[in-house]
Amino acid sequence: MAFELPSLTYAYDALEPHIDARTMEIHHSKHHNGYTTNLNNAIADTPMDDQSIEEILKGLDMENKAVRNNGGGFYNHRLFWNIMSPNGGGTPDGALGSAIASAFGSFEDFKTAFAKAAATQFGSGWAWLCVHKNGSVDVCATANQDNPLMPGIGCGGTPILGIDVWEHAYYLNYQNRRPDYIEAFFNVIDWKKVEELYTLGV
Ligand code: MN
Protein backbone atom coordinates (compact mmCIF):
# COMPACT_ATOMS: atom_id res chain seq x y z
CA MET A 1 0.00 0.00 0.00
CA ALA A 2 1.49 3.31 -1.06
CA PHE A 3 2.09 6.13 1.38
CA GLU A 4 0.49 9.48 0.60
CA LEU A 5 1.78 12.98 1.17
CA PRO A 6 -0.25 14.20 4.16
CA SER A 7 -2.19 17.43 3.74
CA LEU A 8 -1.36 20.27 6.08
CA THR A 9 -4.09 21.33 8.50
CA TYR A 10 -3.09 24.99 8.03
CA ALA A 11 -2.17 27.22 5.08
CA TYR A 12 1.40 27.61 3.86
CA ASP A 13 1.45 31.19 5.19
CA ALA A 14 -0.14 30.32 8.55
CA LEU A 15 3.15 30.04 10.45
CA GLU A 16 4.46 33.45 9.38
CA PRO A 17 6.47 35.35 10.44
CA HIS A 18 8.22 32.44 12.14
CA ILE A 19 8.30 30.18 9.07
CA ASP A 20 7.64 31.85 5.74
CA ALA A 21 5.05 30.68 3.19
CA ARG A 22 7.53 30.03 0.37
CA THR A 23 9.66 27.80 2.55
CA MET A 24 6.58 25.91 3.72
CA GLU A 25 5.30 25.43 0.17
CA ILE A 26 8.60 24.14 -1.22
CA HIS A 27 9.27 22.04 1.88
CA HIS A 28 5.90 20.30 1.78
CA SER A 29 5.05 20.12 -1.93
CA LYS A 30 8.58 19.40 -3.19
CA HIS A 31 10.79 17.95 -0.45
CA HIS A 32 8.24 15.92 1.49
CA ASN A 33 6.52 14.91 -1.73
CA GLY A 34 9.85 13.65 -3.06
CA TYR A 35 10.57 11.56 0.03
CA THR A 36 7.07 10.08 -0.22
CA THR A 37 7.41 9.12 -3.89
CA ASN A 38 10.90 7.71 -3.41
CA LEU A 39 9.81 5.71 -0.34
CA ASN A 40 6.98 4.15 -2.31
CA ASN A 41 9.37 3.23 -5.11
CA ALA A 42 11.86 1.76 -2.63
CA ILE A 43 9.37 -0.52 -0.85
CA ALA A 44 7.37 -1.61 -3.91
CA ASP A 45 7.28 -5.39 -4.26
CA THR A 46 9.08 -5.93 -0.93
CA PRO A 47 7.65 -7.20 2.40
CA MET A 48 7.71 -3.56 3.62
CA ASP A 49 4.89 -2.83 1.21
CA ASP A 50 2.36 -4.01 3.84
CA GLN A 51 3.96 -2.39 6.91
CA SER A 52 3.26 0.86 8.70
CA ILE A 53 5.99 3.49 8.49
CA GLU A 54 6.77 2.88 12.17
CA GLU A 55 7.21 -0.87 11.52
CA ILE A 56 9.43 -0.15 8.53
CA LEU A 57 11.71 2.20 10.50
CA LYS A 58 11.92 0.01 13.63
CA GLY A 59 12.87 -3.04 11.58
CA LEU A 60 15.06 -1.20 9.12
CA ASP A 61 18.22 -2.64 7.58
CA MET A 62 20.36 0.48 8.00
CA GLU A 63 22.29 -0.46 4.85
CA ASN A 64 19.12 0.06 2.84
CA LYS A 65 19.87 3.69 2.09
CA ALA A 66 16.82 4.30 -0.11
CA VAL A 67 14.38 3.32 2.66
CA ARG A 68 16.55 4.84 5.42
CA ASN A 69 16.65 8.25 3.71
CA ASN A 70 13.17 8.38 2.24
CA GLY A 71 11.30 6.46 4.95
CA GLY A 72 12.95 8.73 7.50
CA GLY A 73 12.12 11.75 5.39
CA PHE A 74 8.48 10.70 5.07
CA TYR A 75 8.04 10.05 8.80
CA ASN A 76 10.07 13.04 10.05
CA HIS A 77 8.22 15.63 7.99
CA ARG A 78 4.80 14.15 8.81
CA LEU A 79 5.61 14.58 12.50
CA PHE A 80 7.05 18.06 11.91
CA TRP A 81 3.86 19.41 10.25
CA ASN A 82 1.76 17.74 12.90
CA ILE A 83 3.42 19.37 15.90
CA MET A 84 3.29 22.91 14.54
CA SER A 85 0.30 25.26 14.60
CA PRO A 86 -0.44 28.94 14.00
CA ASN A 87 -1.82 28.86 17.55
CA GLY A 88 1.37 27.35 18.93
CA GLY A 89 3.85 28.49 21.53
CA GLY A 90 3.65 28.55 25.29
CA THR A 91 4.67 25.63 27.44
CA PRO A 92 3.45 22.04 27.96
CA ASP A 93 1.52 21.05 31.06
CA GLY A 94 0.09 17.85 32.46
CA ALA A 95 2.17 14.67 32.43
CA LEU A 96 4.47 15.96 29.70
CA GLY A 97 5.18 19.17 31.58
CA SER A 98 6.06 17.09 34.63
CA ALA A 99 8.28 14.73 32.63
CA ILE A 100 10.16 17.69 31.12
CA ALA A 101 10.64 19.30 34.54
CA SER A 102 11.84 15.97 35.92
CA ALA A 103 14.36 15.43 33.10
CA PHE A 104 15.70 18.96 32.65
CA GLY A 105 14.84 20.87 35.83
CA SER A 106 12.57 23.40 34.12
CA PHE A 107 11.00 24.23 30.77
CA GLU A 108 13.68 26.87 30.16
CA ASP A 109 16.40 24.29 30.77
CA PHE A 110 14.68 21.91 28.34
CA LYS A 111 14.49 24.70 25.76
CA THR A 112 18.21 25.37 26.16
CA ALA A 113 19.06 21.68 25.73
CA PHE A 114 16.78 21.24 22.71
CA ALA A 115 18.05 24.44 21.03
CA LYS A 116 21.64 23.39 21.64
CA ALA A 117 21.05 19.94 20.11
CA ALA A 118 19.45 21.59 17.07
CA ALA A 119 22.10 24.29 16.69
CA THR A 120 25.08 21.96 17.05
CA GLN A 121 23.86 19.19 14.74
CA PHE A 122 26.61 19.48 12.12
CA GLY A 123 25.21 19.71 8.59
CA SER A 124 21.74 18.36 7.91
CA GLY A 125 19.59 16.61 10.47
CA TRP A 126 17.00 16.87 13.19
CA ALA A 127 16.75 17.46 16.93
CA TRP A 128 14.19 15.50 18.91
CA LEU A 129 12.31 15.25 22.16
CA CYS A 130 11.68 11.54 22.74
CA VAL A 131 9.57 9.59 25.21
CA HIS A 132 10.60 6.22 26.62
CA LYS A 133 8.35 3.40 27.85
CA ASN A 134 8.77 4.49 31.48
CA GLY A 135 7.49 7.97 30.65
CA SER A 136 10.86 9.71 30.83
CA VAL A 137 11.88 12.12 28.10
CA ASP A 138 15.19 13.16 26.62
CA VAL A 139 16.68 15.21 23.82
CA CYS A 140 18.95 14.06 21.02
CA ALA A 141 19.91 14.88 17.46
CA THR A 142 20.29 12.70 14.38
CA ALA A 143 21.93 13.23 10.99
CA ASN A 144 20.23 13.48 7.61
CA GLN A 145 16.78 11.80 7.71
CA ASP A 146 17.60 9.34 10.47
CA ASN A 147 15.34 9.26 13.51
CA PRO A 148 15.20 7.60 16.92
CA LEU A 149 12.87 4.79 15.83
CA MET A 150 15.66 3.36 13.67
CA PRO A 151 17.87 0.64 15.23
CA GLY A 152 20.81 2.10 17.16
CA ILE A 153 20.06 5.72 16.30
CA GLY A 154 19.78 8.76 18.57
CA CYS A 155 18.13 8.39 21.95
CA GLY A 156 16.13 5.34 20.92
CA GLY A 157 12.73 6.44 22.18
CA THR A 158 9.63 7.57 20.32
CA PRO A 159 9.94 11.10 18.92
CA ILE A 160 7.14 13.44 20.01
CA LEU A 161 8.71 16.73 18.91
CA GLY A 162 11.23 17.37 16.17
CA ILE A 163 12.82 20.29 14.39
CA ASP A 164 14.19 20.03 10.87
CA VAL A 165 17.58 21.77 10.72
CA TRP A 166 18.32 21.05 7.07
CA GLU A 167 19.04 24.37 5.34
CA HIS A 168 15.96 23.83 3.14
CA ALA A 169 13.87 24.32 6.31
CA TYR A 170 15.04 27.86 7.01
CA TYR A 171 17.54 29.28 4.51
CA LEU A 172 15.16 31.51 2.49
CA ASN A 173 14.19 33.49 5.57
CA TYR A 174 17.09 33.00 7.97
CA GLN A 175 20.09 32.27 5.67
CA ASN A 176 22.89 31.04 7.96
CA ARG A 177 21.15 32.14 11.18
CA ARG A 178 20.01 28.69 12.32
CA PRO A 179 19.74 29.75 16.00
CA ASP A 180 17.19 32.44 15.07
CA TYR A 181 15.07 29.84 13.25
CA ILE A 182 15.27 27.53 16.27
CA GLU A 183 14.17 30.33 18.58
CA ALA A 184 11.26 31.17 16.24
CA PHE A 185 10.20 27.49 16.09
CA PHE A 186 9.21 27.66 19.76
CA ASN A 187 6.46 30.13 18.77
CA VAL A 188 4.75 27.53 16.55
CA ILE A 189 5.07 24.36 18.65
CA ASP A 190 1.61 22.87 19.26
CA TRP A 191 2.13 21.57 22.81
CA LYS A 192 -1.37 20.08 22.96
CA LYS A 193 -0.39 17.83 20.04
CA VAL A 194 2.97 16.98 21.62
CA GLU A 195 1.14 16.08 24.85
CA GLU A 196 -1.13 13.73 22.89
CA LEU A 197 1.92 12.04 21.35
CA TYR A 198 3.54 11.78 24.79
CA THR A 199 0.47 9.99 26.12
CA LEU A 200 0.42 7.60 23.14
CA GLY A 201 4.14 6.89 23.42
CA VAL A 202 4.28 6.08 27.15
MN1 MN B 1 12.99 18.97 5.52
Output the pLDDT for position 202.
78
DSSP string, 35-72: HHHHHHHHHTTSGGGGS-HHHHHHT--TT-HHHHHHHH
Q: Residue 1 above 80 pLDDT?
A: no
Structure confidence at residue 35 as a pLDDT band (50, 70, 90) = very high
What average pLDDT does this structure show over 48-73? Answer: 97
Q: Residue 12 above 90 pLDDT?
A: yes
Report CA(74)–ligand 1 centroid distance (Å). 9
Find, among 30, 140, 15, the residue nearest to 86 by Cα: 15
Q: Give the separation between CA 78 and CA 108, rounded to whole angstroms.
A: 26
Report CA(33)–ligand 1 centroid distance (Å). 11
State the pairing for strand pair 158-164/137-143: unpaired
Q: Is the pTM of this model over 0.95?
A: yes
Strand 158-164: give its sheet, edge to edge.
137-143, 125-131, 158-164
Which H helix or E strand runs over 99? Answer: helix 94-104
Superfamily of domain 20-202: Iron/manganese superoxide dismutase, C-terminal domain (3.55.40.20)
Q: In 10 A of CB 9, how many CB atoms?
A: 13
Q: Residue 70 above 80 pLDDT?
A: yes
Report CA(105)–ligand 1 centroid distance (Å). 30
What is the percent of the chain with per-residue pLDDT over 70, rounded to a whole number? 100
Which H helix or E strand runs over 102? Answer: helix 94-104
Report CA(134)–ligand 1 centroid distance (Å). 30
Output the pLDDT for position 155.
86
Q: Residue 10 above 80 pLDDT?
A: yes
Chain segment 163-191, per-residue pLDDT in tens: 999 999 999 999 999 999 999 999 999 99
